[in-house]
Amino acid sequence: MPRSKRRSTDMNSTDDDRHTSKRLRNSNGSRRFSRVEEIPSFSQKRCLAWFREYTNPDDPDMLGPDGMEKFCEDIGVEPENVVMLVLAYKMQARQMGFFTQEEWLKGLTDLQCDVIQKLQTKLEYLRSHLNDQNLFKAIYRYAFDFARVCIRCCWI
């Protein structure tokens, strides 16, 4: 029986070039990026610039209800969607409908999101927090206290 032929390899490519595409396949098998260098890394400066897109020039350190509405529209989520509550939990926001610069940076640094597209890819991950019993309890407690503080402010 004749020996089988070996697959020819491109002599110009390095080992890293040949194996890079395997590492970049996502869960459904398709390639999102052709090379590792094309995946932009997290930038706190870019994250802060993104925050500034939603703030009022009068108060650049606070994202208020108007900015929140635009932010939700940009990421494609209704403000009433439970994923916004999970995001507020990740940011440890102290006031409903508002994110401070500090809260924004903390939450989005943890998620490694500095542009809309990155956050949109994390929305299912944030929703999955509700399937974990311990995280669900923590988010529920946070939401209860979050709403209670808001209601208490309205009574004063």
The CATH code of the domain at 42-155 is 1.10.238.10
The dihedral region occupied by 105, where left means phi > 0, alpha psi between -120 and 50, and beta the remainder, is: alpha
Backbone angles phi, psi at 10, to 5 degrees: -70, 120
Tens digit of each residue's pLDDT (9 = 90 or more) over 56-84: 999 999 999 999 999 999 999 999 999 99
Name every residue whose Cβ is closer than 8 Å to that of residue 64 and which is 6 or more positions away in sequence.
55, 56, 97, 98
Q: Which of 45, 23, 151 is nearest to 108 (CA)?
A: 45
Overall pTM surpassing 0.85 (yes/no): no
Give the integer Cα–Cα distance in Å for 80 and 72: 10
For CATH 1.10.238.10, the residue range(s) in the chain are 42-155
